[in-house]
Structure 1
Amino acid sequence: MTEDTERHAMKMAKKKAARDKIMATKTEKKGLVIVHTGKGKGKSSAAFGMIFRCIAHDMKCGVVQFIKGGMSTGERDLILSKFTDICSFHTMGEGFTWETQDKTRDTEMAQAAWEQAKDLIRDESNHMVLLDEINIALRYDYIDVNEVVEFLTNEKPEMTHVVLTGRNAKEELIEVADLVTEMELVKHPFRSGIKAQIGVEY
């Protein structure tokens, strides 16, 4: 063993010992409130990654889409074609707000989606519930953020994970969340005239 290799091995051994000591203190389990927000791409994609993890582990889960209409997406089509026995999927929106241009209708649909979301979250057999693009509905006040915070704080079952996605997450939601990730936009092909593409955006 060379001196450099030996030095590296000793450094990694110290790092592992420190890491093991930290990990030994992490013994609690709880259902998390997880927020994916920010201007960068990947909020829903990361959330669906967790949903597919649940499916792979044979854990019941649910999805409510607040904004995206009935358009075909890879994750939606895969779940509806193969995993409806374990993942309840509800597309409740009718498209992005600038497409519908009908605040009353958007509000009604968002309220209906929220009622569906509460039913899924209250069902303790669901390991995880994804509320896709709910932050957009909250931003436009289609749903009262205080009601969402109160529900997550007082009615969410102890071991149920709830994931909330969308830009501009409200501070009240961030405050009660256990895990918040902000996707930062560094570069996006849309700015170069490249449209959304199958297998990447949907």
Structure 2
Amino acid sequence: GMADETILLADDDPMIVDPLALQLRREGFTVHIAVDGEDALAQARRVTPDVVLLDIMMPKKQGWEVCRELRAESDVPIIMLTARGEEMDRILGLELGADDYLTKPFSARELIARIRAVLRRVAMDSARQASPAAETASDDDVVQLGRVTVDRARYQVAVDGEPVHLSQREYSLLMALLDAQGAAVKRGDL
């Protein structure tokens, strides 16, 4: 449950790390601390944390690098921490696969709320993947069925990644079939 979630906190500033680690442990999290980017990568691989908190400015390897390398090998949730409220930083962080982004100074309470939100999101995603029928019921509008991808929001259909042009009638038919995925579709319903 929530009580045994492991957090990797990667930041080289003890003024931030010490009180945060204390607060997180009080909340029942297990906390591992990394003081530079290389250490962060090594620990992330070793302890497979549930959430990684990554400071952008770190010695040996910047948070960006760590984020990119981690993302290439794992889908662990990553929350970037930055001292600068640069919009560019935020965009870059999200581009590189970070799940969330916090600008210093932030309160421990704010951080914990973000951690819990990210963990909830992960739990919901894995629950969704566990039940195939939920695929069409999920709130994301892109449905993947074998080689066919349907983007409901944009009314686009692709096979093997190649766009396919359907008439409105064919498209509605496909939607009806998708909605009834797993259930037999009666001709009268089409």
Normalising by structure 1, report the TM-score.
0.36
Q: Larger RCO: Structure 1 or Structure 2 (Cα < 8 Å, ≥ 6 residues apart)?
A: 1
| Greater Rg over alpha carbons, structure | 2
Normalising by structure 2, report the TM-score.
0.38
Higher strand share: 2
